[in-house]
Structure 1
Amino acid sequence: MKAFVRANKGFLMFMFLFGVFRTAVADWNPIPSASMRPNLLEGDVVFVNRLAYNVKVPLTDLVIARTGEPRRGDVVTFSSPADGTRLIKRILALPGDRVEMRNERLVINGVVSDYALEEVVQEATSAGRMDALRMIEDVDGRRHRIQVLPQRVAMRDFGPVTVPQDAYLMLGDNRDDSADSRVIGFVPRHLLIGRAERILVSADYQGNWMPRTERFGQSLR
């Protein structure tokens, strides 16, 4: 064993530093599901800035220092408070916000968010193909695309509820096909992993595995 370590100490040091980098500084996250359509597709791999909000002890959720404040509209990766699974969703409500949803429309601190229809497309779902309405959602001045599936049974109403201190309400952009805070509850800050900032690479793994080069390097918003 000692001979192996001596012969490969350079490689072993590289692997150790690489592991520290991935668990404490930056990471990448494959997108396995449709919960963030239309902005993230299955087969996208996103770059995650782990230092956007916190510095943590590697391989733990122990926060050493705060480096920035999560903002409404950020796309973030986090550990599910329900079972620890790594998820990626969008922050829609901040600590202290009073939030509710009425017929798919978000109301935050008494202000109804604005929605504008962008297009209607056919979307493949686990229940078969159905119409998908792609819309621009404007929440407190932060604009992003969302998708709703009117034919699908989904939770379109909740609240009003108040977001606890040091916690966040997360929703998937694919509103009717996302197990988000409507299912798993509010997400405590210490479970945030990092901010997803751009798509690194993308491939159509549900089809012919061809790279989707037009998505490489796309910024997230």
Structure 2
Amino acid sequence: MRKWLKDNRGFLLFLLCFGFVRTAVADWNPIPTGSMKPTILEGDVVFVNRLAFDAKVPLTDWSVARLGDPQRGDVVTFSSPKDGTRLIKRIVGLPGDVVQMRDEVLFVNGERAGYTDLAPATEILTGDVEVTAVRATEHLAGSRRSVQFLPPVGALRDFGPLKVPADHYFMLGDNRDNSEDSRFIGTVPRRLLIGRAHHILLSADITGHWLPRWERTGSAIR
């Protein structure tokens, strides 16, 4: 065993450094669902900066230093407070904000979101059911993002008002009618935030024979 360790110490050191970087500094996440359409698609692989908010002990939620504050509009990965599943959503409510939804229109602190650039899009649901979606640009409190709305399929379109607790964040998926977010799992404590999603590293069309989507590779997440 000692000889094996000596012969392979370079490779073992590489694995140790690689593991440290991925669990404490930077990570990448394959995206299996469409909850963040049209911003992030199924088959995208996103780069996640784990040092955007906190420096943590690897493989734990223990923060050793606060490095930055999450901002409204950030796309972040986090562990679900409901069951620990890793999710990726957008922050729409900061600590102390009052968040509400009326007939799918978002309000933060009483300010109503505006919606522009409305355009139809085709969306394929489970079971290859094709529906017509509506995509729009949502403007609210100095931030904006592309969002998608589906025909009524039992989604939660009215919510709150809810005041976001201290050190917690309210998350929504950009695909508003197909996202398990804070409407269902509750607000997310800061300790469960993993990092900020910055860029799309790679992208493949999982419904089209895994063909590369070169136009998405390297693009920034906004």
Partner residue, 1:60 = 60
Q: Deviations over 1:34-81 (max 9, x none)?
A: 100111111000000000000000000001110000000000000000
What's the % identity of the aligned pairs? 58
> So what's the TM-score if we normalise by structure 2?
0.98
Alignment of 1:145-164 (within 5 A): 145-164=146-165
Q: Deviations over 1:117-136 (max 9, x none)?
A: 43101110126111100010
Partner residue, 1:100 = 100
1:152 shift after superposition: 2.0
Q: Deviations over 1:151-208 (max 9, x none)?
A: 3220000100100000000000000000000111000000000000010010112221
Partner residue, 1:165 = 166
Does 2:177 align with 1:176?
A: yes
Partner residue, 2:74 = 74
What is the rounded CA distance, in whole Å, between the counterparts of 1:48 and 1:35 in structure 2? 17
What is the rounded CA distance, in whole Å, between the counterparts of 1:151 and 1:162 in structure 2? 27
What is the rounded CA distance, in whole Å, between the counterparts of 1:50 and 1:2 in structure 2? 35
> So what's the TM-score if we normalise by structure 1?
0.98
What is the rounded CA distance, in whole Å, between the counterparts of 2:86 and 2:121 in structure 1? 29
What is the rounded CA distance, in whole Å, between the counterparts of 2:180 and 2:45 in structure 1? 20
Alignment of 1:172-211 (within 5 A): 172-211=173-212
Partner residue, 1:20 = 20
Alignment of 1:24-39 (within 5 A): 24-39=24-39
Unpaired segments of 5 or more residues in structure 1?
Answer: none
Unpaired segments of 5 or more residues in structure 2?
Answer: none
| Paired letter, 2:219 | Q
State the 4+ residue runs in structure 1 displaced beyond 3 angstroms.
none
What is the SS of the residue equivalent to 2:60?
coil
CA contact (8 A) 1:130 1:151 kept: no
What is the rounded CA distance, in whole Å, between the counterparts of 1:70 and 1:135 in structure 2? 24
| Paired letter, 2:63 | V
CA contact (8 A) 1:93 1:99 kept: yes
| Paired letter, 2:147 | I
Q: Number of paired residues?
A: 221
